[in-house]
Amino acid sequence: MKKRFSGPQIVAKLRQSDVLIGQGKTVPEVCKEIEISQQTYYRWRQKYGGMSPDMIKQLKAVQKENAQLRKLVADQALDISILKVAAEGNF
């Protein structure tokens, strides 16, 4: 069964894991307690390591804006390509 966690939930689980590790538990024990795999733990740690929930919201907003800009650039490149082909046909 696959579970999906939101950004703030991930940050909360990582903070909980930090507390448990600080209490002397090992990473496998912590992962079992917060109900994720070790691979997920390390992937989350790499991606969301020092982030706060506000930073995650900002990251998502920037990623969304970046996707919109990429689409805009792709559309403009297509328009330019079409205009070049049309201009070559007239001469």
pLDDT in tens, 20-68: 999 999 999 999 999 999 999 999 999 888 788 788 888 889 999 999 9
Instruction: Say if residue 71's pLDDT is above 70.
Output: yes
CA distance 30 to 33: 5
Q: What share of the chain is helix, strand, coil (3-state, %, to 5)?
A: 80, 0, 20
Number of domains in the chain: 2
CA distance 41 to 28: 10
Based on the fold, state whether residues 44 and 1 are members of the same structural domain.
Answer: yes
Which amino acid is residue 4, in one-letter code?
R
Instruction: Say if residue 75's pLDDT is above 80.
Output: yes
Domain extent at residue 88: 58-91
Based on the fold, state whether residues 43 and 70 are members of the same structural domain.
Answer: no
Cβ–Cβ < 8 Å for 15, 45: no
Q: In 3D, which of 19, 13, 21 has the Cα closest to residue 45?
A: 13
pTM, entire model: 0.61
